[in-house]
Amino acid sequence: MALFRKLLRNLPFYGAYKALGHYPDYWYWRLRGQPVRSPHLVKQRTVRDYARRYGLRIMIETGTYYGEMVAAMNKDFDRIYSIEFDPGLARRAARRFAGDPRIQILEGNSQKVLPELLKSISEPALFWLDAGYWGWVNLARDPVRLSVEVEAALSHPVKGHAVLMDDARMLDGQNGAPTFDELRSRIAARFPGRRIELLHDIIRITPAGTQSSL
C-alpha cells in the first residue's frame, strides 16, 4: 500500500486526485466533532474569507506541496506566489501552473525567498504560511523560520496584510518549534496593534478590531 501511494504521488494528476477527497474529508471531520486537524476545504474557505474581507488580490504561500491551495484559489486572486523548499515538488507545481501567468512558483528556502519577493510587492497581500513544516521529520528544524516569515510580512512597508498560518498544532514546543503562546507573545511585542487568534488549526494575524467568521 505504501509503495502504491508513493507511485500515485508521482503521477501528474495526483493533485487533482487529492482534490476529489476534499468534500468527503470535510464531512468526516464534521461527523467526528471537528477535531483539531482541519480539512483542506476549511482552509480554502478561510483563505477566501480573509481575502474578501480585506480586499486582498495577492496571495503569498509558503509550502506549495502538490499545489492544492494554488489550484483552489486561482480564480480568487489576481496574482499568486507560492514558495516550495523541495525541488521536486517545486518543479512539479511549476509545470502544473505553467499556463497561467498569474501564478508563480518559487523554489527555495522561504527565509530567503520571501523577503526578496516582498521587495516587488506594492499592495496588501494574503499570506498563507506553513507551520506544518515542523512535522516533516526528514527536514532539519529551524527554530526561526516562522518568525522570519511572519516578521517579513508584518514589517513590510505596505500595510494591510493578513497573515494565516496553517497546521498550528505543530507549534507544540517540540523539535525546536515555538509554542503558539510563545509565537503570539513574540508577535504582540514586536508588532503591537495586531489581533492574533487561533481557530480550526489556523493562526490568524490581522489588524486589531476584527474577528474570525469561521
Q: What is the 3-state secondary structure (H, E, C) of 169-189?
A: HHCECCCCCCEHHHHHHHHHH
| Contact yes or no for 187/154 (Cβ under 8 A) | yes
Residues 4, 7: Cα–Cα separation, whole Å: 5
| Contact yes or no for 108/83 (Cβ under 8 A) | yes
Domain count, the chain: 1
Residues 211, 165: Cα–Cα separation, whole Å: 16
Whether the per-residue pLDDT at 148 is higher than 60: the answer is yes
Does some domain include residue 212? no
pLDDT score recorded for residue 140: 47
Residues 123, 59: Cα–Cα separation, whole Å: 11
Q: For 48-87, what is each residue's pLDDT tens digit? A: 999 999 999 999 999 998 999 999 999 999 999 999 999 9
pLDDT score recorded for residue 61: 97
Q: For 197-213, what is each residue's pLDDT tens digit? A: 999 999 999 987 555 55
Does some domain include residue 27? yes
Does some domain include residue 213? no
The alpha carbon of 202 is separated from its chain's Cα centroid by a whole number of angstroms, namely 9
Does some domain include residue 137? yes
Does some domain include residue 30? yes
Domain that holds residue 70: 2-207
Does some domain include residue 93? yes
Which amino acid, residue 32?
Answer: R
Confidence of residue 177 (pLDDT cuts 50, 70, 90): confident
pLDDT score recorded for residue 145: 64
CA-CA distances (angstroms) from residue 45 to 163, 187, 189?
Answer: 15, 25, 30
| Contact yes or no for 213/179 (Cβ under 8 A) | no
30-54 mean pLDDT: 94
Greater confidence (8 vs 190) lies with: 190
The CATH number of whichever domain residue 190 belongs to comes to 3.40.50.150
Let me know how many helices (H) and strands (E) the chain has, helices first. 9, 7
Does some domain include residue 106? yes
Burial of 194 from C-beta contacts in 10 A (0-12 / 13-18 / 19+): middle
Radius of gyration, CA atoms only, the chain: 17
Confidence of residue 42 (pLDDT cuts 50, 70, 90): very high
pLDDT score recorded for residue 173: 80
Greatest mean pLDDT among 10-14, 103-107, 158-162, 169-173 = 103-107
Dig out the grid coordinates for 67 from the structure: 499545489
